[in-house]
Structure 1
Amino acid sequence: MMRTILFPILLFILFAGCQSRQAMKSRAPVGQAVPLSFCAPKTVVLDTEPGPDGSLTPLFWGLTDHFSYPVSTGSKKAQKFFDQGLMLAYGFNHAEAARSFREAARLDPECAMAYWGLAYVLGPNYNAGMDPNTLPHALEAIEAARARMHNCTAKEQLLINTIAKRYPKSKDEDPQPYYQAYADALKAAHRQYPDDLDLAAMTAEALMDMHPWDLWEKDGAAKAWTPEIIDLIEGTLAKDPRHPQAIHLYVHATEASGNPERAIPYAKTLERLVPGSGHLVHMPSHTYINTGQYHEGTLANERAVKIDSLYVETCHEGGIYPLAYYPHNWHFLAACAALEGRGNRALEASRYMADYVVDQKLMYEPEMATLQHYYTIPWNIMVKFAMWDEILAEKKPDDGLPYLKAIWEYARGMAYCGKGNLDAASQSLKVLKTLETDTTIAKMTIWEINKATDIVRIARYVLEGEMAYRQGKLPESIRLLKQAVDYEDQLNYNEPPDWFFSVRHPLGHVLLEAGQYREAENVFRKDLEEYKENGWALMGLYQSLAKQHGRSADANAVLKRYKNAWQWADIKLGSSVVMN
């Protein structure tokens, strides 16, 4: 009970310093954001006018209570801001990290490592490429650091010279050779200072940044460059199993592998290791959703949204963090809740995310069209939980947002099927087929990971398969849903998945209805490889086994697993889909 009372008080302390910052002048962006990868556009670092006392940013609660990376400075407060900047960078809040490094430099203008930190966060990261417009600022920071190297230790001088290898002199140059040189220089520095675990983590990060979200084949086999990364991170964790950045990177490095379970103990540690970083608090859910621990994933994201909600609403910051990382927490919360059978919680979270995206007004901009995908998630949740009346009450999207219109038509078509109005469903399918070839949708991607057209294509086959099922055309339904599964399997890894959620659930259900119990069993077992211990597939597997002669013991064992997986659910299943 004390923890429940204390948590909001501590969060108030965390963000109290932001209140004074509201009096500061508005921040002008150094560069404009352009969508690139996973859940974030390119890096944007916002400039800051000083407050009345000259400060650029406050010290936040819950970031560096148990962390410090000592640098050469005569100012204890500058050291605190340096530590905060590094931890914010570890938590992928690079704009706020830049402000902390600039504040460290303000407090100690001769602290070379403060400028190193600024150069560090202006570069690319695992989720975002570098905005070329920030290059001059990175080069300026490096020159400022080099001009103060006489104040540094030998290791600090090495780090400054290493970061200098990261950036080309002109934004017209290909940056990749420079990123490779930077990674190679970090590897050499790590060999020279093997006990510096932050340096080891930076090295692993640089290697991962060379191959963002491209560490594993679809079958879970490692890409050629992955073993080096894994070995480096695991070596770091062997020396310090509580290193926040090493854990953060390990979760990312293993989540798409064939063995994400190896990160579970570290994910558990990360849950409360840096309680002031919403992103680090959220990160364990990347492991949990891939290991069947959906309730733990829900809880992790509920904690993360509390932290980030206060940060966004109190500090009113711009940049990528509130634009992408914050709604990502709600997105993940909706996914985990859906997989544990909590339809109401999933819908609530997805609606909050959708409303937030609309408030940002950016999804109407062509270069930010990816944000439209967030807006569609409530409709997918409603389909998953057979909320037919709720779907039909949803307002039609603007004609200028064809991707939204496509998913809206898909959801309406599914609702009409559920309510037995196949004529209306046929009209939705007709519109959906037209939108499948829409040129605007063809240009849109989900953070450049998957094409929006591919999502619309899956929706079309699922709706067409559902219509065939409702018409009693089971072989045709099975054929169409198998085609949808094939398209779903071709999607690139993203978390949460861009198709929300598994087509194998309706496919398995139709196979059960068709009496093809052995094939249904195979479908559900395959689904449990993709979404481990999800109750939807477990119920389907139970049904398929119960219908097969001599498999009752197997069926009862699966039923126990289902009851455990579904203990938090707000619905009961009679198949792998909601029978409504």
Structure 2
Amino acid sequence: MELDTMTYFDLGTFSRRLDNTLSEAQMWFDRGLIWQYGFNHEEAIACYERALEVAPSNVMARWGIAHCLGPNYNKLWTSFGPEERIVALTRAHVLLAEACDLSAIEVERALLDALTSRFPTDPEIADYGPWNDDFADAMRTVYERFPDDLDVTAIFVEALINRTPWALWDTRTGQPSAGTSTVEARAALDRAFTTQPAAWGHPGLLHFYIHLMEMSSTPEKALPHADRLVRLAGC
């Protein structure tokens, strides 16, 4: 779609403030991050690219594009076509290498370092599971360093549930499935919603809680989060 600055979707007011960033670049970065949290990676990349047009040295726009070149809960690595994987992996590695040469604050550098573990160099590998696991492990380290950063929490939780998408719960027993990170993801989300009021205005945390609970025996626990997510965009 044509990305016009003045006539764009109302995505709400969520923002992750970046240091020394022009207001237009900040606007496009925030839009990209919101789309990223909504699993619309294509639109997120388009917004991040607009941020880079305005601010070519924006390290977090590069991080965002690289992140969105990878999978999400609704589109696994196995859903990528062969050529699509080659393009995604090649571009992600280029962007992350560029970002390493740019100035970044501590938490941004930690996010960049963690993201490098998400992308193999060989697009022909058959099993991407170890890379999903490695990214979750890397994000756990970032989360332990920055437990009160809500975006870090969101990206950590997403990495955890992406290890075993649509298989977080044993629907026969109502318990978390063996080998999943369901309990850990829920603990991180519960901590955020219990201790940080701003979590209730975070589109990623709200969205991921819905996915976490949707196949549990108590999906209604996510109704307040769903109601809040709808209101964020003024729907």
- What is the TM-score with the length of structure 2 in the denominator? 0.88
In the TM superposition, what is the alpha-carbon distance from 1:271 to its structure 2 partner? 1.9
Q: Distance in 2 between matches of 1:232 and 1:268?
A: 20
Q: Does 1:213 align with 2:166?
A: yes
Amino acid at match of 1:80: M
In the TM superposition, what is the alpha-carbon distance from 1:74 to its structure 2 partner? 3.2
Partner of 1:84: 31
Q: Distance in 2 between matches of 1:76 and 1:267?
A: 30
Amino acid at match of 2:47: S
- Kept in 2, the 8 Å contact 1:72–1:113? The answer is no
In the TM superposition, what is the alpha-carbon distance from 1:216 to its structure 2 partner? 0.9
Q: Distance in 2 between matches of 1:74 and 1:203?
A: 25
Q: Distance in 1 between matches of 2:210 and 2:33?
A: 19
In the TM superposition, what is the alpha-carbon distance from 1:135 to its structure 2 partner? 1.2
Listed as ranges, the matches of 1:494-505 within 5 Å are none
Partner of 1:152: 104
In the TM superposition, what is the alpha-carbon distance from 1:147 to its structure 2 partner? 2.1
Q: Does 1:268 align with 2:216?
A: no
Amino acid at match of 2:218: N
Partner of 1:58: 4
In the TM superposition, what is the alpha-carbon distance from 1:140 to its structure 2 partner? 1.5
Q: Distance in 2 between matches of 1:193 and 1:272?
A: 28
Q: Distance in 2 between matches of 1:90 and 1:175?
A: 21
Q: Relative CO higher for 1 or 2, CA cutoff 8 Å, sep ≥ 6?
A: 2
In the TM superposition, what is the alpha-carbon distance from 1:70 to its structure 2 partner? 1.6
For residue 181 of structure 1, give the secondary structure of its aligned residue in structure 2: helix
Listed as ranges, the matches of 1:93-492 within 5 Å are 93-130=40-77, 131=80, 132-133=85-86, 134-148=88-102, 151-173=103-125, 174-219=127-172, 220-224=174-178, 225=180, 226-238=182-194, 239=196, 240-275=199-234
Q: Distance in 1 between matches of 2:40 and 2:108?
A: 23
Give percent identity, aligned residues only. Answer: 33
- Kept in 2, the 8 Å contact 1:73–1:108? The answer is no
Residue deviations 1:114-152, cap 9 Å, x none?
Answer: 10000011111001023313211111111121121xx21
Listed as ranges, the matches of 1:522-533 within 5 Å are none
Q: Distance in 1 between matches of 2:192 and 2:15?
A: 17
Residue deviations 1:281-317, cap 9 Å, x none?
Answer: 7xxxxxxxxxxxxxxxxxxxxxxxxxxxxxxxxxxxx
Partner of 1:467: none
Which structure has the larger Rg over C-alpha atoms? 1
For residue 271 of structure 1, give the secondary structure of its aligned residue in structure 2: helix
- What is the TM-score with the length of structure 1 in the denominator? 0.37
| Consecutive unaligned residues in structure 1, runs of 5 or more | 1-17, 22-56, 276-280, 282-580
- Kept in 1, the 8 Å contact 2:32–2:64? The answer is yes
Residue deviations 1:166-215, cap 9 Å, x none?
Answer: 10111023432222111111111111111101110110000111101001
For residue 241 of structure 1, give the secondary structure of its aligned residue in structure 2: helix
Amino acid at match of 1:71: L
Q: Distance in 2 between matches of 1:72 and 1:271?
A: 29
In the TM superposition, what is the alpha-carbon distance from 1:236 to its structure 2 partner? 1.9
Amino acid at match of 2:191: G
For residue 269 of structure 1, give the secondary structure of its aligned residue in structure 2: helix
Listed as ranges, the matches of 1:16-35 within 5 Å are 21=2
- Which of 67, 74, 79 in structure 1 is aligned with 2:21? 74
